[in-house]
Structure 1
Amino acid sequence: MKILIVTNMLEGTNAAHPTQGVFVAEQIESIRRIPCTEVEVLVVAGFEGKGAYLRSLFTILAKARRARYDAIHYHFGLTAWSAPFVRWLTGIPVVVTLHGSDVAGAKWMRRVSRFAVRFADVCIAVSDVIEKDVRKVVRKAVVIPCAVNDHLFTPPVARKHPPEEIVVVFPSSPARPEKDYPLFSAALQCLRGMTDKPIVERHIDGLDRQGVRDLLQNADAMLMTSKREGSPQAVKEALACALPVVSTDVGDVAELLDGVNRCRVVSARDAHRLAKALLDVLDGDRCTEGPVRLAEKGYLSANVAQRIHDVYRTAMKQAPENLRV
């Protein structure tokens, strides 16, 4: 099986954000480990300007003329704008993965994404929320969250920071407005009024994968205050490291954390309630059920890679019924 993956985010391609798309890179490597599977990758450098998206159509068509792909897999709805033309001109089955902001972000981006997925043989949504949003406009939709690199993210052997302080992780860059850093900061300020221990905040921003792993292994809790998410990778990586998590009710977080010890979902976007939930999860040991929940949900890298491989086969079977030429 030969697959072309087209993505606008891949680790190491955007100098301003070198870790952007690391989960896509890890997914690609997992798929490559499946026997008799060849994967080529085309990066659409949208971070350099919208012209990159327009040029990608001609690059994909040129590649398709040189190599007969069994499927073309787009990551992100905006990247898939060319899917209708590629599908019509080449007859190659198309798979599109929607990540969240493509169908919940700016209005123009939502329109492009919803138009593009109409021409996909199979649409992969990384959460149930996304699948419900597009199910009426796609031929076939499946929910497959991005996987966790369970070889890298594991529970810690021991903490390295002083026991008298509390380290709370903000799972992104404060510069991203959709992550709502002001709410995170306000919640930590409330928490400081509830405990005598010093509260130290750390951000997952500008770290390599080992740096993220070390941070999650040595922190005391993660607080996610996002306004919107799909299936947030940071939460799954925190669970893999057995890190307690408190989160606003976004994406599939409520389903992921339901019943997991030392984890809470707070429905109200209220700093005081988030702080109380943090204080609750900090009163004890680590989230020992986190790795178990990931395994139960099939979020480990090998599981997800095989499910995506099965999607390629489904797309290949459906193609003659749809548009195959």
Structure 2
Amino acid sequence: MHVLTLTTNADAPFLTEQMRALERRGVTFSTLSVSGTVDGETSRSPLEYLKFFPSVLREAGNGYDLIHAHYGLTAPMALAQVRKPVVLSLWGSDIYGPVEPVSRACAPLCDELVVMSEAMRTYMGRDCTVIPDGVDLEKFRPAPQDRAREAVDWDGDAHHVLFPYTPEREVKNYPRARRIVNAVNGLVDRPVRLHTVYDVAHDEVPNYMNAADALLLTSHSEGSPNSVKEAMACNLPVVAVAVGDVRERLEDVAPSCVGTSDEALIDGLRDVLERGDRSNGREAAREISVDRTADRWVDVYEQVAYGNY
């Protein structure tokens, strides 16, 4: 099977890992990405998306079995060609934000809609398939904390809390994370350091997961946050707000905490740091390993392209 992938971020680790797992199952890909740079302060212009249409139309005729549009803003380009079936993956921010009208308008026109969590399916209010991004259990695995701290140059005499996003991404709500950590800092026996880790090689992220004492997630909205699943795979305790599928993922994971108020998050983080235990998250993460989710993607592709499971 040969798939044309449309994306706004061809370098997204979860996307490249998913594609590698599918390639091991005989799927081949060609990828087109919208041009332009996106960061915490810059977004693409409408002109850059308009320029993407001709590229997709030209490429779509080159013998693909289907078109896979990742993120709602690539769906119009996928649908502009009428020869091949279209799978649309929604990532979260494309329905919990200003892009939502585009995603909602395109979803009924696609041959299959895939979302990352039951919460997203409920929010969309239509039939679709739920497949969370998978986690690479070979890359993300437990390792000795002292060795990991040496690798990332963290002090061994402090508690370390990981916030794996840039503070500039408003949806991640860094001010709340800072507020939670500041409150806990005076309640435990050692200083508490909040580390914002971003723009590092994905292969280095497991070192930070294993060096930390907790991962803190305070986002306004999420689909199925990869950082939570990666932390689980490393047995790193997670303290998080109830967004996306976080509550479902952490249901049987201890120690961990899912809260809605600052008070609940403060109490949860304090408890995790005082206990000093790693979690049992890796066992729960096996359910959403990249290999298991790849098998589900093969089923979707075969259904869309050939009409059978």
TM (normalized to structure 1)?
Answer: 0.87
CA distance in 1 between partners of 2:21 and 2:49 (Å): 26
CA distance in 2 between partners of 1:277 and 1:164 (Å): 21
The answer (yes or no) to whether the contact 2:224–2:246 under 8 Å persists in 1 is yes
- Does residue 232 (structure 1) correspond to residue 193 (structure 2)? The answer is no
The answer (yes or no) to whether the contact 1:167–1:199 under 8 Å persists in 2 is yes
The 3-state SS of whatever aligns with 2:95 is helix
Residues 214-233 of structure 1, C-alpha deviations (whole Å, 9 max, x = no match): 11111110111111011000
Aligned partner of 2:89 in structure 1 is: 97
CA distance in 1 between partners of 2:274 and 2:255 (Å): 9
Amino acid at match of 2:143: P
Structure 1: which 5+ runs fail to align? Answer: 12-20, 320-325
What is the percentage of aligned positions where both structures have the same residue? 32
Residues 109-129 of structure 1, C-alpha deviations (whole Å, 9 max, x = no match): 111111111111111101111
Match of 1:150 among 133, 137, 160: 137
Match of 1:82 among 57, 60, 77: 77
- Give, in angstroms, the shift of residue 57 of structure 1: 2.1
Alignment of 1:1-325 (within 5 A): 1-11=1-11, 21-35=12-26, 37-45=27-35, 47=37, 48-65=44-61, 67-86=62-81, 89-90=82-83, 92-106=84-98, 109-136=99-126, 140-159=127-146, 160=149, 161-268=154-261, 270=262, 272-295=263-286, 297=287, 299-318=288-307
CA distance in 2 between partners of 1:50 and 1:81 (Å): 13
Residues 271-298 of structure 1, C-alpha deviations (whole Å, 9 max, x = no match): x331211011123344341110011x3x
- Give, in angstroms, the shift of residue 308 of structure 1: 0.8
Alpha-carbon RMSD across the aligned residues, in angstroms, is 1.7
Structure 2: which 5+ runs fail to align? Answer: 38-43
- Give, in angstroms, the shift of residue 46 of structure 1: 5.0
The 3-state SS of whatever aligns with 1:78 is helix
CA distance in 2 between partners of 1:135 and 1:30 (Å): 30
Give the length in aligned residue pairs. 296
- Give, in angstroms, the shift of residue 210 of structure 1: 2.5
The answer (yes or no) to whether the contact 1:83–1:119 under 8 Å persists in 2 is no
Q: Which moved more, 1:227-236 or 1:281-290?
A: 281-290
- Give, in angstroms, the shift of residue 162 of structure 1: 4.4
CA distance in 2 between partners of 1:112 and 1:144 (Å): 21
CA distance in 1 between partners of 2:202 and 2:275 (Å): 27
Amino acid at match of 1:211: E
Q: Which moved more, 1:223-232 or 1:276-285?
A: 276-285
- Give, in angstroms, the shift of residue 71 of structure 1: 0.8
Aligned partner of 1:323 in structure 2 is: none
Residues 9-37 of structure 1, C-alpha deviations (whole Å, 9 max, x = no match): 121xxxxxxxxx221111111111113x2
